[in-house]
C-alpha cells in the first residue's frame, strides 16, 4: 500500500479503500440494487408504459385533466414521429439524387478519357492565361 502511494497516489488510495471496505463491496452492490429497485423512478421506467402507468390521485377532476393532457401529448408525439419519418424519407431521397448525380458525372467524365491539364484551372472559361 505504501509503495502504491509512492508510485501513484490514486493506486495507493484505492488499495487503502479496498483494505478498509473490501469485505463490504458485495453487500454494497446488493444494497444499491435493492434501493434502486424500490425507488419510484425505477418502477416507472421498468413498467415500459411511461406516464400512462400513473396511479389515480383520488381527485376525479385532476385525474380526468391528466388523462386528457396525456392523450393530447401522445397524439402530438405520434404526429411529430410521423413528421420525422417523412423528413428522414426526404433526406434519403435527397442523398440518393445527389449520389445519382455524382455517379452520372463520374460516368460522363470517364467516357471522355483523360482530362486535359487546363480543364481544372479555369482556362477556356474566360479566365486569362498566363
What is the average pLDDT across 62-84? 94
Higher pLDDT, 7 or 92: 92
The total number of residues shown for the chain amounts to 130
Global pTM? 0.40
Distance CA 31, CA 69 (A): 38
In whole angstroms, how far apart are CA 83 and each of 89, 92, 95, 97, 110? Answer: 10, 14, 18, 21, 40
Percent helix, strand and coil across the chain, each to the nearest 5: 80, 0, 20
Portion of the chain with pLDDT greater than 90, in percent: 37
Reported confidence tier of residue 73, pLDDT bands at 50, 70, 90:
very high
Q: What is the pLDDT of residues 74-130, one digit of tens each?
A: 999 999 999 999 999 999 999 999 999 999 999 999 887 655 555 444 444 454 544
Q: Is the per-residue pLDDT at 26 higher than 50?
A: yes
What is the average pLDDT across 3-21? 76
What is the average pLDDT across 14-43? 77
Lowest mean pLDDT among 30-39, 47-56, 66-75: 47-56
Amino acid at each position: 500500500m505504501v509503495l502504491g502511494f509512492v508510485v501513484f497516489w490514486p493506486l495507493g488510495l484505492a488499495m487503502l479503500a479496498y483494505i478498509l471496505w473490501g469485505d463490504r463491496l458485495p453487500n454494497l452492490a446488493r444494497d444499491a440494487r435493492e434501493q434502486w429497485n424500490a425507488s419510484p423512478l425505477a418502477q416507472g421506467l421498468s413498467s415500459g408504459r411511461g406516464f400512462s402507468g400513473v396511479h389515480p390521485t383520488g381527485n376525479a377532476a385532476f385525474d380526468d385533466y391528466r388523462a386528457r393532457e396525456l392523450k393530447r401529448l401522445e397524439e402530438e408525439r405520434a404526429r411529430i414521429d410521423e413528421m420525422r419519418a417523412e423528413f428522414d424519407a426526404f433526406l434519403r431521397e435527397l442523398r440518393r439524387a445527389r449520389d445519382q448525380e455524382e455517379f452520372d458525372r463520374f460516368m460522363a467524365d470517364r467516357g471522355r478519357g483523360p482530362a486535359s491539364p487546363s480543364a481544372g484551372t479555369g482556362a477556356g472559361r474566360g479566365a486569362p492565361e498566363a
